[in-house]
Structure 1
């Protein structure tokens, strides 16, 4: 039996509840640190995973919630935002979110983080996001994800 208590997960649960959302947080025996691993464990399409990726935009933390079926085109997205996007260090991720890579949730962070939400997630009625730990996920919707994160809807790669 996997331990179902963790401070980061508790903060995510509390942040969701503050927005009137109380999804069941699913715990896995094995870590699901990649979108594919999470999709396989849940039994859903890869695109339904809302990856929480932390970058920096001109040195400031930037959380990008992207469909598991997409890769963020950092050069293109940086141009759209008028700055330079770089991958955040693991220390920056931990400082900005209070969580570690592989389990970063869309919310439950020590302070607000500018958040962008991939418009491709709108294609699905249900999406799944990490809940603050690499062994956890929770179900949500695109609209709910925008609402609870205060995120900005945006394409994360150029149109095909």
Structure 2
């Protein structure tokens, strides 16, 4: 893993770094030398397992057009039916919807610092890891935290969202 936190962060990653500092989080935003747009790419750059990547998947709730974010283990596919049974019927969230409602571009969607109130759920499978890595507002930016810190930062319930074979 190459730690390039001494370099100037992109604006959206700096916004996340400032948010983290404001809540007393003691881990820096790290810039990956290669993209972390996918869980596999992020894991390769960090030297961790894909399961330890806390990926953010955004849906559009049909009833009120609200953004619904699921923070899931990088190895899991999100079961849209399970999510819908918790929050209501869902539709696709395109890149413009995500950028407008969440405030980050796809590939760097952070679980905190959203521009609008977001309905959030956390994959229970993340709770088994000592720490996980989440996107920090930019496709190359990530930060490390415990699953318990993720729950505390987001206030999101921990639920079963994984598609099981």
Do Structure 1 and Structure 2 share a fold, with TM-score over 0.5?
Answer: yes
Secondary structure (helix, strand or coil) at the match of 1:13 reads: helix
Please list the CA deviations of residues 69-123 of structure 1 after superposition, one character each: whole Å capped at 9, or x if unmatched. 1011102321233x11223110110011211000111112223312111110001
Equivalent of 2:11 in 7, 19, 22: 7
Tell me whether 149-158 or 31-40 shows the greater mean CA deviation: 149-158
Q: How does 1:1-160 map to 2 (within 5 A)?
A: 4-58=8-62, 59-81=65-87, 83-157=88-162
Separation (CA, whole Å) in 1 of partners of 2:82 and 2:121: 14
Separation (CA, whole Å) in 2 of partners of 1:12 and 1:72: 25
C-alpha displacement of 1:159: 6.1
CA RMSD after TM alignment: 1.8
The answer (yes or no) to whether the contact 1:74–1:86 under 8 Å persists in 2 is no
C-alpha displacement of 1:158: 5.7
The answer (yes or no) to whether the contact 2:78–2:163 under 8 Å persists in 1 is no
Tell me whether 132-141 or 72-81 shows the greater mean CA deviation: 72-81
Uncovered stretches (5+) of structure 1, i.e. residues with no partner: none
Separation (CA, whole Å) in 2 of partners of 1:119 and 1:18: 27
Query: What TM-score do the two structures reach when normalised by structure 1?
Result: 0.91
Secondary structure (helix, strand or coil) at the match of 1:12 reads: helix
Separation (CA, whole Å) in 1 of partners of 2:48 and 2:144: 11
Separation (CA, whole Å) in 2 of partners of 1:140 and 1:35: 16
Separation (CA, whole Å) in 1 of partners of 2:135 and 2:164: 27
Structure 1 residues 78 and 36: alpha-carbon distance in aligned structure 2, compared to 1, 3 A threshold:
same
The answer (yes or no) to whether the contact 1:13–1:22 under 8 Å persists in 2 is no
